[in-house]
Amino acid sequence: MGPVVGFHWKSKYYIRARAAKVSNPRTLKQQEQRGKFATAFSFLKTMKPFIRIGYKEFTQEKSAFNAAMSYTLKRAVTGNGKEISIDFNRALVSMGTLMPIFEGAAAMSNNQITFHWKDNSSMGNAEKTDIAMVMVYNKDKEAAVYNMEAALRSYCHTELQLPEDWQNDELIAYLSFCSADGSSVANSICLPISVTEMPEDKVEIQTEFVKTIYRRILPDMETALQLHTTVHSLSAPPDKVQNYKCDT
């Protein structure tokens, strides 16, 4: 219909201006813009189900994926020419009005990522029943693993299992929350991953012996000694730490 075209989206009909014909569609500026678009798309396509929840507050006028593309192109894609990349610290895999957490950490051990955070349920609209959404993105393989129902905010920690062949790759972690009724989502936070794995056959166990002598008067007025020896395993992996106490 003249210089406009009609289309159908989300049960509604729209018209918009017809795209103009470009005499030279491969200018340097156009190629750079297409490179940025391709970079953002390659990043987000690995996590579409996560994005569908993560950007659900912006689906009134566009799809969740398009909302994520718009933000990523404006805020997280960096560089120009052939040097285009994602700034993973600025990328948001979820965005919304729910209160995020401000103190979090991620650690890798035995091919598993453990997330920790401080419960801030009393802050703003944060609730103890908010659901943690966790993700790990593999920069080398351009792939993502995630769990959108990992734990409650009040739990303060959760785990995410990684594929076996990810051990030597460069990884980045994201943590976000969704309200229990699904109506609001928090901005995701990017977490660097620390490695805490230690081979079991090379674990060094440090021991500390503490001797304490107690005296008490018995009915027959004789003195008895009680010796307490406590051994602390200080540097073993978390699942191997044991405390021993002997009373004689």
Give me the amino acid identity at 68. Answer: A
Residue 177, Cβ neighbours under 10 Å: how many?
29
Which residue from 198, 199, 109, 200 is spatially nearest to 162, judged by alpha carbons? 109
Report pLDDT digits (tens) over 182-200: 999 999 999 999 987 555 5
pLDDT band at 111 (very low <50, low <70, confident <90, very high): very high
Residue 16: predicted pLDDT: 82
pLDDT band at 209 (very low <50, low <70, confident <90, very high): very low
User: In the structure encoding, which two tokens stand for residue 217, read together?
Assistant: 């008067």
Report pLDDT digits (tens) over 48-60: 999 999 999 999 8
Q: What is the pTM of this model?
A: 0.72
Residue 23: predicted pLDDT: 59
Higher pLDDT pick, 134 / 226: 134
Which residue from 92, 74, 77 is spatially nearest to 190, judged by alpha carbons? 92
From CA 87, how far away is CA 101, in angstroms rounded?
21
Kindly tell me if the per-residue pLDDT of 28 is higher than 60. Answer: yes
Report pLDDT digits (tens) over 67-87: 999 999 999 999 887 789 999
Residue 3: predicted pLDDT: 80
Q: Which residues contact 234 (CB under 8 A, 6 or more apart)?
A: 205, 206, 207, 208
* Section 89-99 average pLDDT: 97
